[in-house]
Structure 1
């Protein structure tokens, strides 16, 4: 029986397959597209490799693509049907259980098993990576931080994969509000591997949350060769760049990024990229910036996928696209489909609660907003604002929904609610041009031109970086 470089035994894995497996882990941690090729090479060399099969299973679910997950589940079930359950090691049996749970729709069960794996085997980088991505997809910020933090103490700093672990830890720190420590950890990771795009991602999140838009642009510009092309995270990091540009008021640059990087004729119709495009255009939609042609192309892309109920976070962004394109009938059809699915969904499927508790109410709110029924949109979103994380994503991603609540309250004339929401936002993020421009509109509605002018001055000053 072979063993990986940390001495962890690998059942059914020959020496050649082990080389491919180590390469696949490296590709996975650095978000290289060739990870799929490397993972296939493991199984081509050793079809009965337990960890090779587990890796293939995780790759099938991490992108939240329904068809990929179904194909991975079929392949995994075929492998399990011929497996002597006593042959794999304890670590491998735990992985098999985690992969089976995830492929069966029990994300939270998979996350618990992966957590147990990382306690017992802190050098199992696949368990750490899959667990970290799981925590992101389920919006569990504390686990996103502590799953990695709990393992880091077992790693030597000169290990090649210590840097990617720091990158993961940086993101967890950022999502739990430790922005300075997160920036420090992310930069330390990049000192080890400048092309660590997850480390870059973690640092740009810290700038976003602290209103350091100019710093974020300078940071990304200085590292363009490290992140701007050829990675699985390229589009998402361009999305972050566009958010910076949007806050500075440079709509021209925002649309340039959208057209060149986020969505164009050659864009792959994958959920992770389409939701970034929808989230960016939705922010422009909230600002009453008409992008009808771009919305139409994006809505076509979502419609062509013909998604079933798989991940509620994706559904919300599909509805954004349909509403933005004025295709309310398509948005309502998606909602009816998910309602029908819920009636027969198994209780153990995590997406059931994610859809029922968060996804569908948000979709209905977006439709109401598109219909001009801002009061209903506010009523639907208000009970969710402290629970949105339960359907996944980051604070930056979910802010599109939080801003929708603010805009709905303003447009419905709910001045007391708008005042409360904006006060919360400004106290938490005092450097945010959007917050101050919305505050100015509220003051106009309240009949206080002096306070409105002051808020507009704050917004303009922050957008210009002064």
Structure 2
């Protein structure tokens, strides 16, 4: 029996197949699109290897693309029909069961099976990577951190793939609020391999969370050759760049990033890129900036997908695009479709059911209400959810657009006490954020406190000027 680079036996594998497996896992760890070709080569070389089919199934699910998941389900089902898992070694039996669970829509069971696997096999990089991504998709910050932290002691300091593990750990640390430790850990990963885009992305998150947008911009500028093209994370990292620009008041730079990287006529139209585009334009919407042309093109891209119920986080951003484009009927049609789906028996065992019912649909209704000027309804819908939004996935940075929607609704509806609480929370966490001080000025204006409003605007202005972007990329 052959073994992979981590010392695991590969059932029904050959030396050629293991070479393709090792290549595929490395491509996955570094978010290289070449992973798709490596998996095809692996399946051709080892058509009966369970780990090969599990890896192909994982790829079909992690992108949150319903069509890719359906094709992966078909292919895995054909393989699984001729397999007796009871004869497999534990590791490959768990990979098979995890893949089966994910393809059936049970993300949490798949995650738990992979965690069980890595307790016994902490050097299974594939299981760690997929589990980590599932923790992100389900918004489980503690497990995002501890799944990797619990395995790190099994990896030698000089192992070439300890670096990507550190990058994953950095992201988990960041999502749990350990920003300094996360930044140091991510930097250590990047020092090992400058092309570790997940580690770069983790460090970018720490700057976003602390409102240190000037340093974040400088960090991404200094490493642009490593992340700005050719990876699955390229568009998302440009989104972070645009967030920094927006915070600094450089709206032209943010829109330049949008047009060049987030959404344009050559964009791939994949959900994870479209949702970044929607989240960016919604921030402009909250600021009162008319982006009608961009909204229309983005809504067209979402409409062309015609997605079935699959991942509530995507649905919210599709509704964001429809509402932003003024296509309220399409937003309402998507919401009605998801409500019908919730009543179907087949939805009961699917992780996305609770994501949709408990968070996704109330958020979609809140977006509709906000665009219609019904800010009281926005408050009724989002205030009870403000500490539960993680339950439908994403990162703190991604979900912040919804927190900003809630704050905007509180200010517009005259809910001064709630607005004060939200602004106080934000300013305590990010005292260097111009947005937070400008929100404080809006509240002071509503209360007729002219001196406080002026002081808050002055503070925001000084912070914005100190963060003027030196980049000439856009």
TM-score for both structures, normalised by structure 1:
0.99
**Pair 1:150-2:117 in alignment:** no
How far apart in 2 are the matches of 1:85 and 1:407?
53
Q: Match of 1:403?
A: 404
CA RMSD of aligned residues (A): 0.8
Deviations 1:409-454 (A, max 9, x none): 1111111111111111111221211111111011001000100011
**Pair 1:315-2:315 in alignment:** yes
Alignment of 1:4-403 (within 5 A): 4-344=4-344, 345-403=346-404
How far apart in 2 are the matches of 1:454 and 1:37?
57
How far apart in 2 are the matches of 1:226 and 1:289?
33
Contact map agreement 2:32 2:230 (CA 8 A) in 1: yes
Contact map agreement 1:13 1:50 (CA 8 A) in 2: no
Q: Match of 2:470?
A: none
Contact map agreement 1:262 1:273 (CA 8 A) in 2: yes
Deviations 1:237-272 (A, max 9, x none): 000000000000000000000000000000001000
Q: Give the secondary structure class of the aligned counterpart of 1:86.
A: helix
Aligned structure 1 segments of 4 or more residues deviating by more than 4 angstroms:
none
Q: What is the CA-CA distance between 1:118 and the residue it aligns to?
A: 1.0
Contact map agreement 1:139 1:392 (CA 8 A) in 2: yes
How many residues end up aligned between the 2 structures?
466
Q: Give the secondary structure class of the aligned counterpart of 1:110.
A: helix
Q: Give the secondary structure class of the aligned counterpart of 1:308.
A: coil
Contact map agreement 1:163 1:192 (CA 8 A) in 2: yes
Q: Give the secondary structure class of the aligned counterpart of 2:343.
A: helix
Contact map agreement 2:359 2:392 (CA 8 A) in 1: yes
Contact map agreement 1:11 1:87 (CA 8 A) in 2: no
Q: Larger deviation: 86-95 or 445-454?
A: 86-95
**Pair 1:435-2:436 in alignment:** yes
Q: What is the CA-CA distance between 1:84 and the residue it aligns to?
A: 2.9
How far apart in 1 are the matches of 2:106 and 2:330?
29
TM-score for both structures, normalised by structure 2:
0.97
Q: What is the CA-CA distance between 1:88 and the residue it aligns to?
A: 2.0
How far apart in 2 are the matches of 1:461 and 1:48?
63
Q: Give the secondary structure class of the aligned counterpart of 1:188.
A: helix
Q: Give the secondary structure class of the aligned counterpart of 1:28.
A: helix
Q: Where does structure 1 lack aligned partners over 5 or more consecutive residues?
A: none
How far apart in 2 are the matches of 1:229 and 1:200?
13
Deviations 1:99-139 (A, max 9, x none): 11111011111111111111110000000000000000000
Q: Match of 1:420?
A: 421
Q: Where does structure 2 lack aligned partners over 5 or more consecutive residues?
A: 468-474
